[in-house]
């Protein structure tokens, strides 16, 4: 058993990078919007199979997808139910699941250069704070949806920034000039606050003008799922066809043409297979109110920025192998 790093509550980004690449088994809180898409479910199942970290708990984040849910709180509840469903299929009902904030966070001053957010109490927020304060080692908070829950937790208890590192799947790559993407758009103030507040951050941007960068490279098709999940169990059927069929009407239309980006698998992959990742310490650009980037401003905090996977196919292959091990 590898010991927690000394003075974990004072870790720099360089020390966090060393921790990520070490064989030490980390502690993770997985925060997701599983009711919105299919990639959260695969990412969660993969995370539960990983050997280099332990999932302590899962929390459901709010989202609004008018094709699926009528309001954000219902989105959060749908995600909560979907997480419970996945855990049951995997025989991991021992993992606690917490309901998150049911709406966007409000800003103290919406027109401020660095807007502060007003925290909202809920199970997920209290769990993040409690876990961070009680742990004898750093907690990695893996956020694959909007930043609502983690930003609310930090706003309520800023001292936990010394005890956590956030992995956030959010924003486009800085070379696009525009930060806009789904997770940021679901709660703009929460995302901007997370990027401004100075918490240790592993930032996983989605799309780059370079098609080899970002999490957009984790893309596969229907045949990949059919060949990967060949078992006859209820869980195998769920991951092979039931899950994509429920969330994507085009799944049955063209077996060879259907494909999907498994964005959120990037988050567990960074901790499980860091040797397949390119990471660099970079300045976090400020996100303007119109969701464009202001780059090169003085005094900005830094983050461990994900650049790309050296072998995206191997990352997704590891996901398939990991999930199959537990189903």
pLDDT band at residue 304 under the 50/70/90 scheme:
very high
Q: Is residue 286 part of a domain?
A: yes
SS (H, E, C) the chain: CCCCCCCHHHCCHHHHHHHHHCCCCEEEEEEECCCCCCHHHHHHHHHHHCCCEEEEEEEECCCCCCCCCCCHHHHHHHHHHHHHHHHHHCCCCCCCEEECCCCCCCECCCCCCCCCECCCCCHHHHHHHHHHHHCCCCEEEEECCCCHHHHHHHHHCHHHHHCEEEEEECCCCHHHCECCCHHHHHCHHHHHHHHHCCCCEEEECCCCCCCCCCHHHCEEEHHHHHHHCCCCCHHHHHHHHHHHHHHCCCCCCCCCCCEEECHHHHHHHHHHCHHHEEEEEEECCEECCCCEEECCCCCCCEEEEEEEECCHHHHHHHHHHHHHHHC
Which pLDDT does position 10 carry in this prediction?
A: 66
Which pLDDT does position 5 carry in this prediction?
A: 41
Q: Is residue 240 part of a domain?
A: no
- Separation in Å, CA 158 to CA 27, 101, 173, 263: 20, 18, 27, 29
Say if residues 2 and 25 touch (Cβ distance below 8 Å): yes
**Number of structural domains in the chain:** 1
Q: Is residue 282 part of a domain?
A: yes
Q: What is the CATH number of the domain that holds 136?
A: 3.90.245.10
Does residue 6 register a pLDDT over 90?
no
Q: Is residue 248 part of a domain?
A: no
Does residue 271 register a pLDDT over 70?
yes
Domain enclosing residue 28, as ranges? 16-218+262-326
Q: Is residue 2 part of a domain?
A: no
pLDDT in tens, 9-48: 568 999 999 999 999 999 999 999 998 999 999 999 999 9
Does residue 301 register a pLDDT over 60?
yes
Token digits for 154? 């930090």
pLDDT in tens, 52-111: 999 999 999 999 987 778 899 999 999 999 999 999 999 999 999 999 999 999 999 999
Q: Cβ neighbours of residue 5 under 8 Å, at least 6 residues apart?
A: 11, 15, 18, 19, 24, 137, 138
Which pLDDT does position 4 carry in this prediction?
A: 41
User: How confident is the prediction for the chain on average, in pLDDT?
Assistant: 95
Q: Is residue 242 part of a domain?
A: no
C-alpha neighbours within 13 Å on the C-beta side of residue 150: 34
> Quick one: 298 exposed, middle or buried, by C-beta within 10 A (0-12, 13-18, 19+)?
exposed
Of 118, 129, 104, which Cα lies nearest the Cα of 184?
104
Which pLDDT does position 8 carry in this prediction?
A: 46
Does residue 2 register a pLDDT over 90?
no
- The span from the CA of 246 to the CA of 310, in Å, is 31
Q: Is residue 209 part of a domain?
A: yes
Of 263, 222, 256, which Cα lies nearest the Cα of 42?
263
For a pLDDT cut of 70, what percent of the chain falls above it? 97
Say if residues 40 and 76 touch (Cβ distance below 8 Å): no
More confident site: 137 or 247: 137
> Quick one: 111 exposed, middle or buried, by C-beta within 10 A (0-12, 13-18, 19+)?
exposed
Which pLDDT does position 9 carry in this prediction?
A: 54
pTM, two decimals, is 0.96
Q: Is residue 236 part of a domain?
A: no
Mean pLDDT to the nearest integer, 108-129: 98
First-to-final CA distance of the chain: 26
């Amino acid at each position: 058993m590898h010991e927690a790093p000394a003075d974990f509550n004072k870790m720099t980004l360089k020390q966090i990078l060393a921790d990520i690449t070490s064989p030490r088994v980390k502690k993770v809180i997985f925060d997701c919007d599983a009711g919105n898409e299919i990639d959260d479910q695969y990412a969660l199942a993969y995370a539960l199979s990983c050997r280099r970290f332990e999932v302590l708990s899962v929390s459901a984040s709010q989202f609004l997808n008018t094709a699926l849910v009528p309001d954000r709180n219902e989105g959060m509840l749908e995600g909560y139910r979907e997480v419970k469903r996945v855990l049951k299929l995997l025989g991991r009902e021992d993992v606690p699941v917490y309901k998150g904030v049911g709406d966007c966070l409000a800003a103290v001053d919406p027109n401020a250069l660095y807007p502060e957010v007003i925290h909202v109490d809920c199970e997920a927020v209290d769990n993040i704070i409690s876990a961070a304060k009680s742990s004898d080692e750093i907690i990695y908070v893996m956020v694959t949806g909007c930043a609502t829950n983690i930003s609310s937790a930090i706003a309520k208890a800023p001292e936990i920034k010394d005890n956590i590192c956030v992995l956030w799947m959010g924003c486009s790559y800085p070379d696009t000039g525009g930060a806009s993407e789904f997770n940021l758009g679901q709660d703009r103030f929460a995302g901007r606050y997370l990027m401004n507040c100075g918490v240790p951050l592993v930032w996983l941007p989605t799309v780059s003008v370079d098609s080899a960068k970002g999490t957009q490279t984790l893309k596969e098709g229907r045949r990949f799922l059919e060949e990967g999940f060949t078992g006859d169990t209820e869980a195998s059927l769920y991951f092979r066809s039931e899950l994509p069929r429920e969330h994507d009407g085009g799944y049955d239309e063209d077996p060879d043409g259907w494909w999907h980006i498994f964005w959120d698998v990037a988050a567990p992959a960074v901790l499980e297979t860091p040797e397949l990742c390119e990471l660099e310490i970079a300045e976090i650009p400020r996100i303007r109110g119109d969701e464009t980037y202001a780059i090169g401003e003085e005094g900005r905090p830094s983050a461990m920025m994900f650049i790309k996977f050296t072998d995206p196919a191997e990352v997704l292959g590891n996901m398939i192998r990991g999930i199959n091990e537990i189903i």
